Structure 1
Amino acid sequence: MLFFPLEFTKRTMGSGNDSTVTEFILTGLTDRPELQLPLFLLFLGIYVFTAVGNLGMIILVGFSSHLHTPMYYFLCSLSFIDFCQSTVITPKMLVNFVAQKNIISYPECMTQLYGFLVFAIAECHMLSAMAYDRYVAICSPLLYNVIMSPHICFLLTMGVYTWGIVGSSIHIGFMLRLSFCKTNVVNHYFCDLLPLFGISCSSTSINELILLILSAFNIMVPSLTILASYTFILSSILRIRSTEGRSKAFSTCSSHISAVTIFFGSLTVIYLQPSSANSMGQGKISSVFYTIIVPMLNPLIYSLRNKDVNLALKKILENRKHS
């Protein structure tokens, strides 16, 4: 991060016809005045729900000793990622609904982009780690505590965050090479790669190639890992003779499958389609799903469909009543 100020200084020193853009205007989701207040209230409510839900999940796991297992360790990490992802995007988005112009400086734009990429990449691979955890739990239950030891869980989590930082640094490094001198209007509600490519007056062919390669890696590798894990899981579930046993085994995976489907589905629409097949309007809608809706839904999905989480919540509420 120490290289940002040097780049920013260069970009604010242009003069005359060579002057470069030092701030951007985010167009937001809509330019219809009658929708601004309703959308502001809607997304404010979503953000509050997201923050309370994800921070609540982290606190719940931390204070409930019977939730100190690899599954909930990864769920706690996912909640942290979702909270950070929403916080990077939503507050600036809310400004767009109440301000005449939603202006963001070049340093702020790059910082927002960097944060978004870190947590988006991390979520892809965290969901993959969670699928592997379910695979070990169902397919090798006797070796579960050995294979998914606290040390291994820590290494997997650190690997997820490390790759998130590395992947986003690659994108930002190539983004800082671009010049913006034609227009400063970004047709989006946050600083994303594709809208910024669209207003650059430099060649973005290398950036687009890097985006395609890294997007394919960050979407396809976790997707294939998840698909392989659930193929083995399904095979193991079908071998369980009792209906109750099958139902219990499947219930531990159904929440994760729901979260994976929504997240990777919306990401694929944006980053693995040709630009000609994907209008910016459709891109904004898809972006809303993985930047705002998914972080809100994850704690809801995992709490409503998880008996252990519900039991832990009831115990904490009962203890507060008695105290």
Structure 2
Amino acid sequence: MRHYDINKSNQPSDSRSMRTKSENKNSKIRIKKQQTSGSNTLTFENEKKSRNFMTGERFTYKKDNSYIERERERENRRNNWRQKRAVDVEDIDDDEEYYDDEYDVRSWRFRLLKKIIAFLLIIMVVGGSASFIYVKSIINDMPVLTKKMVLESYINKEPVPLSKIPKNLQNAVISIEDERFYSHKGIDYKSLVRSFVNNLTGNMTQGGSTIDMQVSKNLLTSNEKTLKRKIQDMYNATVLNKIMTKNEILEAYLNNIYLGKSTYGVQAGAKLYFGKNVNELNFGQSTMLAGITNNPNLYQNYEQAKKRQAIVLYKMYELGYIKENVYKAQLYRDTPFKSEIDK
């Protein structure tokens, strides 16, 4: 319980100036220790002299034991909080050190990644510009391609119209040489990417030339395996699709394809391997002749040609040109060459 003793006295007229000088002055603390039976009890008195701010009268403020205990508990709590806060600050400093190190690593990686990306972009821009200039210079040196130029470049001087070439032979050649012939505009980009990946990762090389590009190679450019010739064939293939129909391009291909033993065109090939005109070929003979176009020096051998025929038949079945029963029946059916019959 708090006790207040207020000693009233008259204040002088200048009490306000005197009050400002005597405010907030603490009195002495008297601590008395009283001995009681069975225990020691500490009694505290804290007298604080101050002045009434309204009247200017002096009074003495006494603090009892319970107040002192509460003050001491508060002080202990404050000390404990300060100690805990000090430990937390140390932990925070350690964590900040750790996060700073981790941030430095991440920042270093991010800067390195930015440099790599910038370097690659520069290479792409420079390489793309150089490639464009190189391709442009090759195209500018090429003559203007016309349909007449293609017809005059025929190797086979006795071509046959596409209408006299069996449909099975046409479908077989398209299946094995250029399955998307009727859908692309001279360049099959999907086939080019696949061939590029296979050439990098596989043991065997694979071309991505379309029938249009092969017409260019057979009639307009050369057989040189150079980047320049490849660019020329790609450009010619796109131009062919502008000046000719797909059937005209296919006809030019079938009439000038090399089939071995100095033979060009499917008419001459039918005579060589089967002793008959191309329009007289049956289904099995058409698929055999279509398989030879890939490598005539190898597939002019009957056993090798028969293995190649199986691949041609499967592609035709896969693309929907023939039914499953036709595919399986022809696999086990003999289709002898003329040379085999003459033995």
Q: TM-score, normalised on structure 1?
A: 0.23
Q: TM-score, normalised on structure 2?
A: 0.22
Rg larger in 1 or in 2?
2
Structure with greater contact order relative to length (CA < 8 Å, sep ≥ 6): 1
Higher helix share: 1
